[in-house]
Amino acid sequence: MVEDSYDLTKRKDERSGEYVPEDIPAERAADEVLKKVPGAESRKRKDGRVELNVPSTSIGSVMSEFKRMGYDHFVALTCIDLIKEDMFEMVYHLWSYGARTHVYVKTNIPREDPSIESVVEVFRTAVTYEREIKEMFGVDFPGNQRLTQFILEDWEGPPPMRKDFDSIRYVQDKFDIKVRNPKGLPPKWTKEGGK
């Protein structure tokens, strides 16, 4: 668990009048997380954004820490299928309105029985991204109570965004449609099996 020892200086927000955390640059915020999360690494990109690689077991506490430091806009969650490494790379995109910059928090999880802690308790908007990744890649998010069917209605096949998903075979098996390709022409779909 990330300790709550970083002293945040507060400033008065011009629009709301509320006191909010000081505008903490991405590099400084990443340094604070690095001090508290064993095994974490960071890299500053040329565009000023920061990438932080963390162990998957610390994703919840890392998200909480960045939110506490003003990175409170959850922009997106992406999943990258690294089939050769037998891993999924999860990328959490965060934005700070005060510091006006992005932070990318990355972690890897195994492709076999993939699971990672949900961050819905920290960022409520993550629910949609987690549902989509569950459906498209088969990643489970313990703690997310809304991992119900989302986009694919009546889907009975494997997760379709995995690189090893064979869409032609799925269509042939599911709909009894054959692919024909005479003399290298673009594939034609027929019920007759290409006669």
In angstroms, rounded to a whole number, what is the distance separating the alpha carbons of residues 147 and 120? 11
- Structural domains of the chain, count: 2
- Residue 176 maps to a domain: yes
CATH of the domain at 67: 3.30.460.80
* Residue pLDDT tens, the chain, 195 long: 444 444 555 666 666 666 566 678 889 899 999 999 999 999 998 887 899 999 999 999 999 999 988 899 999 999 999 999 999 999 999 999 888 889 999 999 999 999 999 999 999 999 999 999 999 999 999 999 998 888 888 888 899 999 999 888 888 888 777 666 555 555 555 455 444
- Residue 47 maps to a domain: yes
CB 178 within 8 A of CB 193: yes
Q: Write down the pTM of the prediction.
A: 0.81
Q: Are residues 180 and 142 in the same domain?
A: no
Q: Are residues 44 and 64 in the same domain?
A: yes
Q: Are residues 37 and 124 in the same domain?
A: yes
Give the range of the structural domain holding residue 185, as residue numbers without chain letter.
165-195
Q: Are residues 86 and 182 in the same domain?
A: no
- Residue 2 maps to a domain: no
Ramachandran region, residue 5 (left: φ > 0; alpha: ψ -120 to 50; beta: rest): alpha
